[in-house]
Amino acid sequence: MLDTLLKTSPIADLMSKLAGLDQPGGDPRTKQIVQRIVGDLFQTIEEFDVTPAEFWSAVSYISEVGQTNEGGLLVAGLGFEHFLDLRFDEKERLAGLEGGTPRTIEGPLWIADAPLEKGSARLDQDPEPADVLLMHGQVRDVDGTPVPHAVVDVWHANTKGGYSFFDRSQSPWNLRRQIETDAEGKYKFRTILPAGYGVPPDGPTNKLLKALGRHGNRPAHIHFFVSAPGYRKLTTQINIAGDEYLHDDFAFATRDELIPGVTRNENPDAMRDAGLNSPFVEIEFDFALHHETDKVPDTVVIRAHAPAA
Ligand code: MBD
Ligand code: FE
């Protein structure tokens, strides 16, 4: 019945017209993609005998996603952003690119132009009870050669899982910095150990996740863009080991190579050397970048971002 109805001439005619295939103007690729997506949705409606009430509730849902600005959140939760990563991975594999720190999703919460500091930075600006985290490492190429003057753009949540700018209770740029690696490719920063993130409980993303029997939690993580002239931009994150959602991330971003050891340091000398008077946690993590190549698409992703306002 499905095939027969969709292939009847009024519907075939409608599909061709709605995608502008009978018109000379417009963009051919857009026409093809729109025809495919709308056709697939027609087929879904037919196959599941979707009721008008169900259809109109889906239209309201899309509007709510727009009004609440949860588009980036929803696509992460539905695995689209991870799917794009898997496609990048496969293209690199087919082109013979090996090694390098694995990529994982950017997510919807990066803000452009965080304060840039050389070599080291302190990210936490707002006092809150938290474990101090000292993170450090080196940026290298895939052969192990250090990359001086690379930019490590880092952003993460506070102990409540909130990100500055999106969470108005935090000061601007809290837990966000760009750090330029030194002459040996090294970077380091002082910050606080973040907590995991949970989607807004009353938003449309959570509404769908609940209908799917899913949760909207991410394990505690720290985001990075690592870039340098002549190298492929790396978009990645590290996860904090021990988190209950470590292997149950609603956004599917955890990768085994991105779970560094976290050591708690209670040595009084180490505390004093770090300018602290209480124990702290330490993470060492090196980034390995691929050299620029025209064998695979560029990893710089153009997407809309929230303004720093
Ligand atoms: C986040 O912090 C995040 O990284 C993703 C992918 C989605 C929502 C919040
Ligand atoms: Fe995040």
Positions of the chain with pLDDT lower than 70, given as ranges: 1-3
What is the structure's pLDDT at 108? 98
Report the nearest atom of ligand 1 relative to the CA of 223.
Answer: 4
Cα(first)–Cα(last) distance of the chain, in Å? Answer: 53
CA atoms within 13 A on the CB side of 203: 19
Rounded distance between C-alpha atoms, residue 219 and residue 309, angstroms: 27
Which residue owns the Cα nearest ligand 1 atom 6? 107
| pTM score, whole prediction | 0.96
**Ligand 1 center from residue 76 Cα (angstroms):** 8
pLDDT of residue 8: 76
Q: How far apart are CA 28 and CA 51, in angstroms?
A: 32
Residue 9's pLDDT is: 81
pLDDT tens-digit readout, 98-139: 999 999 999 999 999 999 999 999 999 999 999 999 999 999
Q: 243 and 237 in contact (C-beta within 8 Å)?
A: no
Structure tokens at 104: 């994982």
Between the CA atoms of 260, 261, 264 and 269, what dihedral angle is there, to the nearest 10 degrees?
Answer: -90
Amino acid at 94: L
Which of the 8 DSSP states describes residue 252?
-
Give the position, in ligand 1's atom list, of the atom nearest the Cα of 81: 6
What pLDDT does residue 7 have? 72
Distance 258 CA to ligand 2 centre (A): 14
pLDDT at 309: 79
Residue nearest to atom 2 of ligand 1 (CA): 197
Burial class (CB in 10 A: 0-12, 13-18, 19+), 38: middle
